[in-house]
């Protein structure tokens, strides 16, 4: 699978799963826009990607801020000329039991994880529709499919991303743009490092493959969906979860 001369915009790409996706797409020949709320780290990641032969650009993008997103997408279009692949990866957690969940924690997670996908997809979809081609890949979560104690805000945001993916897939299909989601299970990153060891061990019991996933597992599925090999696939949710949810 090769992505030579394709331009991929990846949100939250400075670290974690987003960075791994950036490395995998760059290794396949894509030029990469590393968008993140943390510009310093994004610039560092973009520099590292240059070693893989990619043309790169780092940009500050808080996906929850519509105007900032629109301005950033304009800048990307000017500098990179087009956007062929959008990976909506930026996401956060603010966990607590539902009954104790503060409105601020609810709003923050919905604003970044769900409204963020709305903001970036809207700004980019218009370019892709004009190009009559494009691939949008939304990083959802297993938790959006099966729920999880302590993650009412997060599971609602990710279930929302899955619904948005299916509607966008229907709306953009006539313009040659595919829209799919990936629902990772529990993947080794800073986000899951926060989970206490005993909770992690309980989770492992529920994973048929008996291990947490690696960021590279999610990146491999992203590469497939971003490539021509997936031209006839749209509106789907690809589970990368070790069999935890089937
Ligand atoms: P991560 O290591 O925390 O990386 C997320 C990146 O997004 C960070 O660089 C973060 O910056 C950035 N970010 C946060 N808020 C942002 C915003 N408003 N605008 C732009 N960038 C923002 O997380 P991850 O584990 O790689 O997760 C990536 C995606 O996979 C998320 O959507 C997550 O929900 C999803 N996912 C993860 C797992 C898992 O097990 N790790 C499982 C299922 C789904 P700061 O750190 O500076 O805030």
CA distance 210 to 206: 8
**Residue 23 and residue 4: Cα distance in Å, rounded?**
14
Ligand 1 centroid distance, CA of 174 (Å): 31
Residues paired with residue 158 on neighbouring β-strands, in sequence order:
none
Interatomic CA distance for residues 23 and 236, integer angstroms:
24
Among candidate residues 186, 179, 182, 196, the one with its CA nearest the CA of residue 231: 179
Cα 98 to Cα 105: distance, rounded to the nearest angstrom:
10
Tell me what pLDDT residue 195 has. Answer: 84
Give me ligand 1 centre to Cα 131, in Å.
29
| Overall pTM > 0.95 | yes
Atom of ligand 1 at shortest distance to CA of 41? 9
- What is the C-alpha separation between 73 and 159, in angstroms, rounded? 26
User: Of the listed 24, 114, 153, 154, which one is catalytic?
Assistant: 154
Instruction: Give me ligand 1 centre to Cα 62, in Å.
Output: 12
175 contacts: CB under 8 Å, gap ≥ 6: 128, 129, 132
Q: Which residues of 172-210 are buried (b: 16+ CB within 10 A; e: fewer)?
A: beeeebbbbbbbbbbbbbeebeeeeeeeeeebeeebeee
Q: What are the average pLDDT values for consecutive 10-residue runs of the chain, which has 246 residues?
A: 95 98 98 98 98 96 98 98 98 97 98 99 98 98 97 98 99 98 95 85 94 97 98 98 97
* Alpha-carbon torsion (198, 203, 208, 213), positive or negative: negative
Cβ atoms of residues 57 and 9 within 8 Å: no
Atom number of ligand 1 nearest to Cα 143:
43
Q: Look at residue 246 in the predicted model and tell me its pLDDT.
A: 96
* pLDDT at 1 (0 to 100): 79
The residues with which 96 forms a beta bridge, in sequence order, are 151
The DSSP symbol for 96 reads B
Look-up of token digits 């959008």: 86
Report residues whose beta carbon is within 6 angstroms of any ligand 1 atom. Answer: 11-12, 14-18, 36-38, 61-64, 89-92, 112, 116, 139, 141, 184, 186-187, 189-192
Which ligand 1 atom sits closest to the C-alpha of 215? 26
245 is catalytic: no
pLDDT at 200: 87
């Amino acid at each position: 699978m090769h992505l030579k001369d394709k331009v991929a915009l990846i949100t939250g790409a400075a670290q974690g799963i987003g960075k791994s996706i950036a490395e995998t797409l760059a290794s396949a020949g894509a030029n990469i826009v590393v968008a993140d709320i943390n510009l310093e780290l994004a610039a560092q990641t973009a520099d590292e990607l240059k070693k893989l032969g990619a043309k790169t650009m780092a940009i500050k993008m808080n996906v929850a801020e519509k105007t900032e997103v629109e301005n950033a997408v304009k800048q990307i279009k000017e500098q990179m000329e087009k956007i062929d692949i959008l990976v909506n990866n930026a996401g956060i957690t603010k966990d607590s039991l539902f009954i104790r969940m503060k409105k601020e924690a609810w709003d923050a997670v919905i604003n970044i994880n769900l409204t963020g996908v709305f903001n970036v997809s809207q700004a980019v979809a218009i370019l892709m529709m004009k190009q009559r081609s494009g691939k949008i890949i939304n990083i959802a979560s297993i938790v959006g499919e099966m729920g999880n104690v302590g993650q009412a805000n997060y599971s609602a945001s990710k279930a929302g991303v899955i619904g948005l993916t299916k509607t966008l897939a229907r709306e953009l299909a006539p313009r040659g743009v595919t829209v799919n989601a990936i629902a990772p299970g529990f993947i080794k990153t800073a986000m899951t490092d926060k989970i206490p060891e005993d909770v992690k061990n309980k989770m492992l019991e529920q994973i048929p493959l008996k291990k947490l996933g690696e960021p590279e597992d999610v990146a491999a599925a992203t590469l497939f969906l971003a490539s021509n090999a997936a031209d006839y696939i749209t509106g789907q949710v690809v589970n990368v979860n070790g069999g935890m949810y089937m």
